[in-house]
Structure 1
């Protein structure tokens, strides 16, 4: 049965192609949504870009018919701009002031009541990324859903970059004897991905085990190339950190993603690897470290000083890790070191747009606050002989329209899991301190 889907403004600002994502159902855009989109189109950030894109698409569709009467889309659905708010008094009685959210609810309520009187009523669904709007819709008896079309795999299906397999002990012995295993000969009932880490454990219950990595072509299981040695004074404290260093120090893997809770060592490990590659091995000309000024694209404001001084509060977590790695003792020592080296640049993501970045080790911190489009923009800036590492915790998102399944970092992990140029590890164990580990678990 076909449905009527009423879209909230935040759905279109989150995904400007959302109006085409409902197959052959009828998509309703309340008139007040157009007003809200119009108020956002002058913004210089991702929301402004999406508002302008939606405006252009609506203008293009308008050429095929009058939007208030409904226009048939290429996928067989119907797009309609609805002006009718006649049930707003009932909404106002329940929720007080007639806000834009309540006007959208009134449109959904109007369709819901009209369908109840029809011989063959169609389901009416309000689609919104605003939790309270969905709660209000439930109070009115209207079905409400989050916009889920752009989400990646569910929590229990997300790619971790590692897998534990219980095998016969002879398989582990064969690996230690020949230092390689052919995936086809193992006859596994799971799919392995390029550069995925595999922990082999004895199915008989002994302590015999092995840590391997899938080859970039996905055909073999190979040993890790790095021993558990110190990298700029940092040594891996657990298996996942060792996996992370294996990817970070491998020049043949230009894209690395690391996810994990606070305190798992993502940023510190990456900075240590970057410093080794730039300062010791001279594999890259520069170490570029960036993080979004949330929300990305906003001006850094009216803080006093030049650009670097304005950026300092936003970039302080990066500087804290650099102070630890350089073992600075006094305030100002780090600035002198960075000025002397000249090969380390700390930047806001706002200034990366439009650049081509060759020959650099690029670190993008807090990447969970990026949308799919922003991640595409950043990764597509990477030039020849560069390596990019994106870090973040998908459970700590400050962006109003993103969550653990729809943010750009999770999207990037999922889309590149079958590509030999990329590698991913999910760090699970906190190493900052016992207190920090308990805080992430209990609070």
Structure 2
């Protein structure tokens, strides 16, 4: 299996591979420096020594932390795999495939991987691993990339007959982008330089071969690209129908390192609502924030709201939060009234400035909404779905360039998911976010 000499290094490789996957699949931002996160019941801490645009981050020793944030042990990959499994199962609904009694878990993969000296549950092909290990300098990396595009990528693109997502996984994210990440983490080449080279090569392919333009332009113009998840996702299984250990990855969208960025997103419009509804931005006044801050604080500390928002903060913290939103560019906090009575809290935002921008291919004009029906006696009477329909229509009227209004309720919040559905939002898929899995709900302009 393993020797006492190489076990520590292999253990760190496996733990790092699992941590990279978890961060990517939960769309957790990563920057160089200290990283603290919770996976299930496990508190983890490490130093990010290399932050990668392709997700190939490099970590120092990964520690288990105590309640005060102090390291108490090195995170064993089996413990990390078990924590990822427990968290993924908790994030998913009880009847999801990942929660099936015979679905298996990442620990099954790990036990199979140990004698095979495998380190990553989503390993590259042996050929690409050999490339990533053998290329020794930036010039050699550029030559490999040029040869790969001309000899492998171009013929595959020209002959591709499947869907865009499958082509993206097979030809791009699990191919040259993954190799670029490994070369960057090894310090062979700056990832940004190779990504710029790849953008240039792909632009030339699209220009010279118009038949490939739609696929290649998606790779260059989309804010996200399809990749594969192996740790977090409701449809994951780790055993086949015969009981064999067999990870079946599921697709998810990850930030596109080839994307040059969208046009500047405009501000958030304040929609006009009809049908007895009123909507106004929160007012923050005086040393204590004033009545609107007190109202939002009361609603957020109500049991039926706190269970889903997890923001049962003191009034001083809500004062700071609301003032910060009003002074920034991300979102606008609002009070909604019905027939003259305040009943709900909304946050309206541009997706491009939100964490959700990392999760699906958005447009600069896409708008998002968070909703909390604050008054308990307004729950279960269709108020939420009626309000959401009025807000979606109002936002589309207020910004004629906006094609979609989106939301991301927790998959466990069936009442909220159902209210969005009744309001005309369609469920586009499931997305992993730090702390929860959400249903991506989209209201399209008709």
Structure with the larger RCO, 1 or 2 (CA within 8 Å, 6+ apart):
1
Whose helix fraction is larger, Structure 1's or Structure 2's?
A: 2
Q: Give the TM-score category using the shorter length.
A: under 0.3
The normalised TM-score by structure 1 is 0.23
Instruction: Specify the structure having the higher radius of gyration (Cα).
Output: 1
